[in-house]
Amino acid sequence: MRADDPVRRAVMPDATLIDQATQVRLNAHAPYSNFKVGCAIRSVEGNVYVGCNVENVAYPEGTCAEAGAIAAMIAAGDTRIAEVAVIAGSPAPVPPCGGCRQKLAEFADGDTPITMATTQGATQVTQVGALLPGQFTAAHMAE
């Protein structure tokens, strides 16, 4: 497969965010759950970052698609999330797990939109704050 094959390329600048999540999902390493997830993040700085779940035979070492996309954004030097899309082959639009909700909240505002999707074409849009009411914040560490 060529290095610039769309399935192998991490980011396609002209595609919608959900299309990018759909593409990167194909690269997921999910031999244990057989549940592939793709995530695409548009940063406030205007760039797109993608991630997929990467499982491990030592199960707790696996990482979620959202975590991969967030790590890519931070590693590239961008700082804040403007929009999120996540997709899986689930019967209903796939919601981020609890840990990923906290990870997204670290870099997003409460009203940052997140589109949850299925590979069958169903979508549901919500906001990062709605996914994590009562979230732990830096304010809780104030003396």
Q: What tokens does 45 get?
A: 């700085």
Does residue number 37 form part of the binding site for ligand THU (CB under 6 A)? yes
Residues in the chain: 143
Does residue number 124 form part of the binding site for ligand THU (CB under 6 A)? no
Q: Provide the 8-state DSSP code for 127.
A: E
Does residue number 78 form part of the binding site for ligand THU (CB under 6 A)? no
The terminus-to-terminus CA distance of the chain in angstroms comes to 56
Residue from the set 24, 40, 50, 65 that interacts with ligand THU by CB under 6 A:
65
Residue 106 a catalytic site member: no
Does residue number 102 form part of the binding site for ligand THU (CB under 6 A)? no
Output the smallest distance, CB 62 to ligand THU, in A: 5
Does residue number 56 form part of the binding site for ligand THU (CB under 6 A)? no
Does residue number 21 form part of the binding site for ligand THU (CB under 6 A)? no
Point out which span in 5-13, 28-36, 110-118, 134-142 binds ligand THU (CB under 6 A): 28-36
93 vs 96, which CB is nearer to ligand THU? 96
Does residue number 136 form part of the binding site for ligand THU (CB under 6 A)? no
Active site residues: 66
